[in-house]
Amino acid sequence: MADDLCFFTKDSFILKSPKKSPLVLRTVVLLFVMVCGVYICTICLKQISTGSTTEFLNFRVDQKPCPEPNIEPWEIPYVHYPNPKTYSRAECACNPVRYFAIMSMQRSGSGWFETLLNNHTNISSNGEIFSVKVRRSNVSTIFETLDRIYNLDWMSSASKNECTAAVGLKWMLNQGLMQHHKEIVEYFNTRGVSTILLFRRNLLRRMISILANSYDRDAKPLNGTHKSHVHSPYEAAILASYKPVINATTLIPILRQVEETTKKGLEYFKSTRHIILYYEDVVKNHTKLAEVQEFLKVPKRELKSRQVKIHKGSLSNHIQNWVDVEKALNGTKYESYLHGDYRK
Ligand SMILES: *[C@@H]1O[C@H](CO)[C@@H](O)[C@H](O)[C@H]1NC(C)=O
Ligand SMILES: *[C@@H]1O[C@H](CO)[C@@H](O)[C@H](O)[C@H]1NC(C)=O
Ligand SMILES: *[C@@H]1O[C@H](CO)[C@@H](O)[C@H](O)[C@H]1NC(C)=O
Ligand SMILES: *[C@@H]1O[C@H](CO)[C@@H](O)[C@H](O)[C@H]1NC(C)=O
Ligand SMILES: *[C@@H]1O[C@H](CO)[C@@H](O)[C@H](O)[C@H]1NC(C)=O
Ligand SMILES: *[C@@H]1O[C@H](CO)[C@@H](O)[C@H](O)[C@H]1NC(C)=O
Ligand SMILES: *[C@@H]1O[C@H](CO)[C@@H](O)[C@H](O)[C@H]1NC(C)=O
């Protein structure tokens, strides 16, 4: 019975198929081609819209089979997996690395700020690399230097090497940054480098620090060595005992000039991924450092610096011709510089 049934179905199939098969087959093939076409189009569109992303991910997957980091899509261009020429990243090869640059001006607290960053086990800020003139002779030497830093091939006392999660440098505005700002912004935006813009609010205090530092360069009261930063209150007191005379005539033009440079720097680099910090705020408010660590996407740590502030307390104690300075700034927009004080 079963055989009969079987035979019957087979038979009926054989009988019917020669008539219907070509039409059914054609319809199936047509549908298949249509579905394929739609699928290919979708893939193409996807690749066009997220072209760079796909390329980036493919590249990395080819280089190193690291697991996908759990990040937001906007972060992808800022996440890197450097492959240093000089050593192996070993157990940290799959730890993502962020690139940064601290842009600042001399005597604006960037030295202190950098020691704070370098107190983090996963941050390497390699110092004022472009203070050496040949490295900033032209855009090519600047890019070569940056490539080496961001590939984790730059060796300094700050390098944490394999387990670095954020690598960068300290860069003063007058070290080629203003001159080559266009090319540098382009490099930052194509290579995914973030900028920390660090300035000082009280430019009069900054001026005292510059004058005192320049005096120290010649006088060297600390056993004949010039120190831009100190690690003890004793040394700080010796350096602060020098009280500069400020030329009251040129004071306002100089303050205005510094203000202009700061404004220009902010303008030039605002199209990079950036954070703006003021030295005074970091001193007063320790959550600013948490904000910086969040910006660099490193695990949050309590950061310590051994540096001691040199010029503490009221400014009137640090300027020889205080009365002249007070007169010069009284009633101007810079008047607040006279009164700014720190608790630390
Ligand atoms: C951070 O500072 C503390 C206190 O000075 C020190 O014990 C620690 O070794 C520092 N960490 C790094 C990575 O420099
Ligand atoms: C850039 O400067 C370096 C070092 O001063 C020099 O060797 C090189 O030829 C310069 N390159 C260009 C393109 O000017
Ligand atoms: C930070 O460095 C430590 C080793 O010092 C390493 O174990 C850890 O994975 C690093 N963290 C990141 C986020 O790279
Ligand atoms: C100079 O050096 C001596 C010996 O190292 C030290 O005891 C002294 O405190 C130093 N003085 C200053 C001003 O740094
Ligand atoms: C202040 O600077 C101006 C311009 O450089 C100069 O002519 C003047 O002599 C200076 N005044 C003092 C008191 O040094
Ligand atoms: C300290 O800084 C944080 C983060 O920037 C900010 O939210 C907070 O308001 C600041 N606190 C004070 C007292 O200024
Ligand atoms: C500052 O100016 C005000 C008037 O605007 C005056 O009363 C005060 O004495 C001035 N102070 C100094 C130190 O010149």
- Among the ranges given (39-53, 95-109, 324-338), the one the predictor scored with the smallest mean pLDDT: 39-53
DSSP 8-state class, residue 311: S
Q: Ligand nearest 275 Cα, by number?
A: 6
List ligand 7's pocket residues with C-beta within 6 A: 326-327, 330-331
As a whole number of angstroms, the distance between CA 235 and CA 306 comes to 13
DSSP 52-65: HHHHHHHHHHHH--
Please count the CA atoms within 13 angstroms of the CA of 44 that sit on its side-chain side: 6
What pairing do the DSSP bridges indicate for beta strands 193-199 and 98-104? parallel
306 CA from centroid of ligand 4 (Å): 18
**Banded pLDDT at 60 (limits 50, 70, 90):** very low
Q: Which residue has the higher pLDDT, 110 or 22?
A: 110
Of the candidates 315, 335, 97, the one whose C-alpha atom is nearest the C-alpha of residue 193 is 97
What are the beta bridge partners of residue 308?
230
If you average pLDDT over residues 107-132, what whole number do you get?
Answer: 96
Vertex 224, ends 223 and 229: CA angle to 5°? 80
157 and 114 Cβ atoms separated by less than 8 Å: no
Block residue for tokens 């984790």: 152
Number of H-type helices and E-type strands within the chain: 12, 5
Prediction pTM value: 0.80
pLDDT digits (tens, 9 = 90+) for 245-282: 999 999 999 999 999 999 999 999 999 999 999 999 99
Q: Residue 56 has which token pair? A: 């980036």
What pairing do the DSSP bridges indicate for beta strands 166-172 and 123-125? parallel
327 CA from centroid of ligand 7 (Å): 7
Block residue for tokens 């739609």: 38
Nearest CA to ligand 3 atom 12: 165
pLDDT digits (tens, 9 = 90+) for 212-230: 999 899 889 898 899 989 9
- Among the ranges given (9-18, 74-83, 253-262), the one the predictor scored with the smallest mean pLDDT: 9-18
Cβ of 300 less than 6 Å from ligand 3: no
DSSP 8-state class, residue 176: I
Beta strands in 255-309 (DSSP E): 273-278
What class, spelled out in words, does domain 74-339 have in CATH?
A: alpha beta
The overall average pLDDT reported for the chain is 85
If you average pLDDT over residues 28-55, what whole number do you get?
Answer: 50
As a whole number of angstroms, the distance between CA 277 and CA 9 comes to 83
197: phi > 0 → left, psi -120 to 50 → alpha, else beta; which? Answer: beta
For residue 69, the one-letter residue type is P
Q: Ligand nearest 325 Cα, by number?
A: 7
Per-residue burial over 68-96, b if 16 or more Cβ lie within 10 Å, else e, is: eeeeeeeebbbbbbbebeeeebeebeeeb
Residue 204 CA, chain-centre distance (Å), reads 28
Of the candidates 217, 271, 266, the one whose C-alpha atom is nearest the C-alpha of residue 239 is 217
Q: Residue 78 has which token pair? A: 């800022």
pLDDT above 70 (res 151): yes
Residue partners of 64: CB distance under 8 A and separation at least 6 = 81, 83, 93, 94
**Banded pLDDT at 69 (limits 50, 70, 90):** confident
Q: Which of 32-46, 57-71, 295-309 has the highest mean pLDDT?
A: 295-309
For a pocket test of ligand 1, which of 298, 304, 308 has the largest count of ligand atoms closer than 8 A to its C-beta? Answer: 304
Axis-axis angle for helices 322-329, 248-269 (nearest 10): 60
- Burial classification of residue 275, based on how many CB atoms lie within 10 Å of its CB (0-12 exposed, 13-18 middle, 19 or more buried): middle
135 CA from centroid of ligand 2 (Å): 9
Which pLDDT score, from 0 to 100, does residue 99 have?
A: 98
